[in-house]
Chain A
Amino acid sequence: MRSGQFAPGRTFGQIRRNWGLYVLLLPAVVLTLLFAYKPMYGVIIAFKDYSPASGITGSPWAGFKYFEKFFHSYQFSATIKNTLVISVYSLVTFPIPIILALMVNQMRANRFRRFFQTVSYMPHFISTVVMVGLMMILFSPSTGLVGSLYHLFGGEAPDLMGSAGLFSSVYVWSDVWQHVGWDSIIYIAALSAVDPSLYEAATVDGASRWHKVRYIDIPMLMPTAITLLILRVGGLLGVGFEKVYLMQNDLNITSSEILSTYVYKIGLLSSQYSFSAAINLFNTVINFVLLIMVNQISKKFSENSLW
């Protein structure tokens, strides 16, 4: 049979023989259709004057009205700027898990290494609510740990949770504290796949430990790092809702109002469904375009790409 791949009889035969596999796929496919693809269709309310009474199809078209409304609102530049500041700042901390993984990889004392890893994963399991609660308690200038530390050295503690200027720093570094250990696992796994004979050869050639890190470990981590970096850049405007929303208060709101919290407030708290969907769609499209762009660039200059 010359065109075996396209023989319809064989294809159908194979589907029929493997019907069990489609049964296994069914729940996931149905749930994805209902709760991921159906809402994608619902995105058109961004171009309509949606009213719950007339439904998605029944509501009149509004064109780009809500997009224009957003572009002309005073919140436009503020939310975009805040979102970008936080995500670009987070991008700067991208190498920290890599450094940690290189360190762990250098540890020879096995017990210490295991203890170190166990402890460094732990904060990852703290929920966002508890994490922010923890920060509020510890960073309190009057009763918290930070306050006490400042008093010990005779200073006056800054109000870390209630300062617009410090918001992005507090957000980003608390995130590093919580997730650096966990994020390093993937690099530790990549390093454990390095062929030991490479190190032996390097030792025979007189390489120091630093040389081995520099010329063996770091190049080995590059493909993983670039893949993760592409994903991060693709989500540049996608700073999560959860932690920022919990950290928000009247004192820091000027630098803590980001796209996702704004979408939530406009949409669910003040029920402007179409307006909120438009802002959300704008956000998603930019992320999507960024992801494709970064992937293309990476494809061109290195061998790594997502597809």
Chain B
Amino acid sequence: MTATATPPAAPPRAPHGTPDAKRSRPRRQTGRHLFLAGVSLLWLIPLLWAMYTSLRPYEDTAANGYLSWPRSLSLQNFSDAWAQSGLVHFFWNSVLVTVPAVLGTLFFSAAVAFYVSRFDFRWNIALLMLFTAGNLLPAQVLITPLYRLYLQWNLPGFLSDSYLLYNSYWGIIAIHIAYQCGFCTFVLSNYMKTIPKEITEAALVDGAPVWRQFFQIVLPLCRPAFAALATLESIWIYNDFFWPLVLIETGDKRPVTSALASLQGEYFTNPNLIAAGALMTAIPTLIVYFALQRQFISGLTIGSGK
């Protein structure tokens, strides 16, 4: 890899190149800033437009159109959407599903990645491919049989008031974990391969059992990768509405994203209100993203630095 990149340079060019690059730097930076700021603004316009819509009273936009100067701006739509739709309840449903699903996914995929990347068993690659390919299956391929399976699967009453996996939080959590493990295993196994084998070798020689290597050495070293995956998985699982649509029967067990769809049906005539409701559902993922942002990028370093 390095060999091709560093042939000894033609000597006369080398000293010349560096100051030249330095001199032209400030100007280039301005251009780059202009470009990046432009793209950023372009990317934000749709979101800002939705924000603007949500801040305006429906009567105003109905009379003057959306592309008009506002007569007044207020947070009224937000408080109306909050009060009328019972969003709190649906937020709580989302939390009940998202938190265990993300934690479970991270733990189990770390286990599989640990197994696949730290031990040389014959079926390692096959196992890794089975997990990775599983995540890549289109969800539509699974729905019919999965729906049937969930209807047949009995659960004790204290786990599910439907006595079935169908229409229970556990069912949603289970499919999320099974489905998302593939992606996380792929990323984590690449990450774990970059941890020098000597570290666990040493522990093994010292007689540390495998579970200690896993919990006390490998897991803590993977913390950046966990931060990155936790961000992505929280966003994906929280935002998912496909599985609850198929596997949850009663509306009041649905997470906030699919509940919003029904809000959209109910208040179809007031897009400003729906805009406010929709923007509110984005708040939790925004919080997760901003909280973990610092580690997010560094953790995603998919083993490319080796």
Binding partners A and B: no
